[in-house]
Amino acid sequence: MSNPLNATAEPVDLAARSRAILDGRAAPPPIARLIGFRPLAAASGRAVFELDTDLEQHANPMGTIHGGILCDLADAAMGFAYASTLEDGETFTTLELKINFLRPVWQTRLSATANSVQRGRTIGLVECDITDSDGRLVARASSTSMTLRGAQAQGR
């Protein structure tokens, strides 16, 4: 199955794509539109995303925001943060994602702030805190990413 966002076999410049999304020159990826999160800022090793929760769309059977929504929000912020550390010709893939849910979430504006903790030649670690509109920590996530180069980076 081909990825319509990456129609060529050339490596994708993820840092440039992130900047284009932030300043409105490129559309956000389909998952962002589906869930409703948006990037607010990105800098070297850091990204901030936001989501206005909607219980009609995001609730689990218990009536709180589904944990997968928090995972998607954190994953997007951590991906932007890691992408901002990449050099020309590099891309990445996520090896592992872990999240701790610290309090239930209902109707609120969530902020996800991701920071690169360690960026080695091949493996990197990014962490993300998700807070509610009152500044309370509702979840903490971490992600291990692998930098891809050469043939591994083609079409990604």
At 61 the pLDDT is 96
Query: What does the pLDDT look like over 6-30, one tens digit per residue?
Result: 444 555 677 788 889 989 999 999 9
Residue 27 is which amino acid? A
pTM of the full predicted structure? 0.89
The mean of the pLDDT values for the chain is 90
At 10 the pLDDT is 59
Closest CA to 71 of 61, 63, 60, 62: 60
Pairing of strands 46-52, 109-119: antiparallel
Query: What does the pLDDT look like over 59-83, one tens digit per residue?
Result: 999 999 999 999 999 999 999 999 9
In the chain, where the domains are located? 14-153
At 124 the pLDDT is 97
Distance, in Å, from the CA atom of 6 to the CA atom of 108, rounded to the nearest integer, reads 34
The sign one gets for the Cα dihedral 59, 48, 88, 95 is negative
Q: String of b and e for 118-155 (b: at least 16 CB within 10 Å)?
A: ebeeeebbbbbbbbbeeeeebbebbbbbbbbbeeebee
Q: What single-letter DSSP state applies at residue 121?
A: S
Distance, in Å, from the CA atom of 127 to the CA atom of 99, rounded to the nearest integer, reads 10
**CATH for 14-153?**
3.10.129.10
Distance, in Å, from the CA atom of 79 to the CA atom of 77, rounded to the nearest integer, reads 5
Query: What does the pLDDT look like over 110-138, one tens digit per residue?
Result: 999 999 999 999 999 999 999 999 999 99
